[in-house]
C-alpha cells in the first residue's frame, strides 16, 4: 500500500506573467486608496495636535509675561516714586557741574549763563562756588525745580531731570499696562 505523493502546481501559466488579473488590480487600487486615506487622516490629526501645541505655547508665553510684569510692577513703582527722585535730588548739582564743565571746555572766552528755578538757586550756587568758570546765575520760575538752562557762547543746553523722570514713569506705565490695552482692543 503505497501512496504516491502528488503535488499541485501553483505556477501561473508561462504566457500570463505580465498581465495581472482584474481582481488583483481592483485589490491593489483599493489598498492604495485606503492607505492614502489613512495617511491623510493621520496627517490631519498631527496637524491639529501641532496647532494645539503652538497655541498652548503662545498662551503659556503670554501668561508668563503677564505674571512677570505684574510682579515687576511694585519694583517699577518704587523706582519711579522713591529711588529716582532721590537720585535726582542728590545728584542734580553734580549734573549741572558736568554740563558747565563741558560748556566751558567748548568755549572759554564767553561767560556761561545758568538759569535755575528760584527754589534751587541757593543750593546750586553753593555747589558751583568752587568752580573756576565765568558764571552768571539767574533764576527762572518757568523752569521745574530740577531743570536748568545753560547758555554759553556756542549754544544752549537744557537739563530737565523732572521731565526725564516723568518720561521714565510714562514708559514704565506703558509696559505695565500693555496687557490691558490688548484685552480692551483685541
For position 108, what pLDDT does the model report?
65
For position 40, what pLDDT does the model report?
93
For residue 113, which of 61, 158, 70 has the smallest C-alpha distance? 158
Percent of the chain exceeding pLDDT 90 equals 12
pLDDT at 147 over 90: no
For residue 134, which of 117, 156, 151, 157 has the smallest C-alpha distance? 151
pLDDT at 134 over 80: no
pLDDT digits (tens, 9 = 90+) for 91-105: 777 777 777 777 777
CB neighbours of residue 152 within 10 Å: 23
Q: What average pLDDT does range 63-89 have in this prediction?
A: 83
Say how far apart CA 137 and CA 120 lie, in whole Å.
11
Say how far apart CA 150 and CA 91 lie, in whole Å.
17
Q: For residue 1, give the DSSP letter.
A: -
Say how far apart CA 121 and CA 115 lie, in whole Å.
9
pLDDT at 179 over 80: no
Say how far apart CA 6 and CA 148 lie, in whole Å.
118
φ and ψ at residue 113, rounded to 5 degrees: -105, 130
Say how far apart CA 62 and CA 47 lie, in whole Å.
23
Q: What average pLDDT does range 146-153 have in this prediction?
A: 84
> For the chain, how long is the longest CA-to-CA vector?
141
How many CA atoms lie within 13 Å of 37's alpha carbon, on the beta-carbon side?
6
pLDDT digits (tens, 9 = 90+) for 40-69: 999 999 999 998 888 877 777 778 888 888
- The C-alpha cell 523722570 sits at 165
For position 164, what pLDDT does the model report?
86
CB neighbours of residue 119 within 10 Å: 13
Q: Which residue would you say has higher pLDDT here, 70 or 41?
A: 41
- Kindly report the pTM of this predicted structure: 0.52
Q: What average pLDDT does range 149-160 have in this prediction?
A: 82
Q: With bands split at pLDDT 50, 70 and 90, how would you rate the model's confidence at 184?
A: low
Amino acid at each position: 500500500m503505497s501512496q504516491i505523493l502528488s503535488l499541485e502546481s501553483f505556477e501561473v501559466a508561462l504566457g500570463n506573467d505580465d498581465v495581472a488579473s482584474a481582481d488583483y488590480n481592483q485589490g491593489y487600487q483599493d489598498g492604495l486608496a485606503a492607505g492614502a486615506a489613512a495617511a491623510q487622516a493621520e496627517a490631519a490629526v498631527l496637524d491639529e495636535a501641532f496647532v494645539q501645541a503652538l497655541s498652548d505655547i503662545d498662551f503659556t508665553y503670554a501668561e508668563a509675561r503677564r505674571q512677570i510684569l505684574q510682579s515687576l510692577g511694585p519694583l517699577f513703582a518704587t523706582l519711579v516714586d522713591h529711588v529716582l527722585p532721590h537720585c535726582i535730588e542728590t545728584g542734580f548739582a553734580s549734573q549741572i557741574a558736568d554740563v558747565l564743565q563741558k560748556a566751558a571746555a567748548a568755549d572759554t572766552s564767553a561767560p556761561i549763563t545758568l538759569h535755575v528755578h528760584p527754589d534751587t538757586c541757593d543750593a546750586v550756587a553753593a555747589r558751583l562756588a568752587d568752580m573756576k568758570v565765568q558764571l552768571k546765575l539767574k533764576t527762572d520760575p518757568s523752569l521745574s525745580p530740577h531743570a536748568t538752562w545753560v547758555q554759553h557762547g556756542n549754544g544752549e543746553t537744557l537739563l530737565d531731570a523732572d521731565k526725564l523722570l516723568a518720561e521714565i514713569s510714562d514708559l514704565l506705565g506703558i509696559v505695565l499696562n500693555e496687557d490691558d490695552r490688548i484685552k480692551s482692543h483685541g
